[in-house]
């Protein structure tokens, strides 16, 4: 049932990742980049850059993966390469902030 497609490749280890891609300022200390996935596929991915422990960002999805730095997700500290998964198959709200004295880059996925 999967049609022919071109894979999307994003190098999140690239030190220029956040300047290479079109991150949009959402509010002070929060920028996001929506991965250009085919909307007909039913899956979305958003990269979230947080530079302040103040305010934070609400993401609704199935999981969050911390790519760089340290985030606070739902009040718990989550370090690099840690995955936070929703308890149900329905997308859930997650509250994120950067950890104190740190920045954070996370990837949220929803399906």
Q: Rounded CA gap, 1 and 86, in Å?
A: 27
The domains of the chain are located at 24-97
Q: Rounded CA gap, 96 and 108, in Å?
A: 11
pLDDT per position in the chain (111 positions), as tens? Answer: 667 878 889 999 999 999 999 999 999 999 999 999 987 778 999 999 999 988 899 999 999 999 999 999 999 999 999 999 999 999 999 999 998 888 999 999 999
What sign does the CA torsion over 23, 25, 28, 31 have? negative
Q: Rounded CA gap, 14 and 23, in Å?
A: 15
Distances (CA, A) of 14 to 46, 47, 84, 98, 110: 17, 14, 23, 20, 23
Q: Rounded CA gap, 24 and 49, in Å?
A: 10
Tell me, what's the pLDDT at 1? 64
Residues 6+ apart with CB under 8 A from 7: none
| Stated pTM of the model | 0.92
Tell me, what's the pLDDT at 47? 98
Q: Of all helices (H) and strands (E), which one includes residue 14?
A: none
């Amino acid at each position: 049932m999967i049609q022919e497609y071109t894979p999307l490749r994003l190098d999140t280890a690239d030190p220029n990742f956040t300047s290479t891609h079109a991150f949009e300022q959402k509010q002070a200390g929060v920028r996001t980049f929506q991965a250009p996935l085919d909307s007909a596929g039913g899956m979305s991915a958003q990269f979230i850059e947080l530079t302040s422990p103040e305010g934070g960002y609400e993401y609704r999805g199935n999981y969050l993966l911390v790519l760089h730095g340290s985030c606070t997700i739902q009040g718990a500290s989550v370090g690099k390469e840690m995955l936070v998964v929703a308890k149900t198959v329905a997308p859930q709200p997650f509250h994120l902030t950067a950890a104190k004295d740190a920045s954070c880059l996370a990837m949220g996925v929803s399906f």
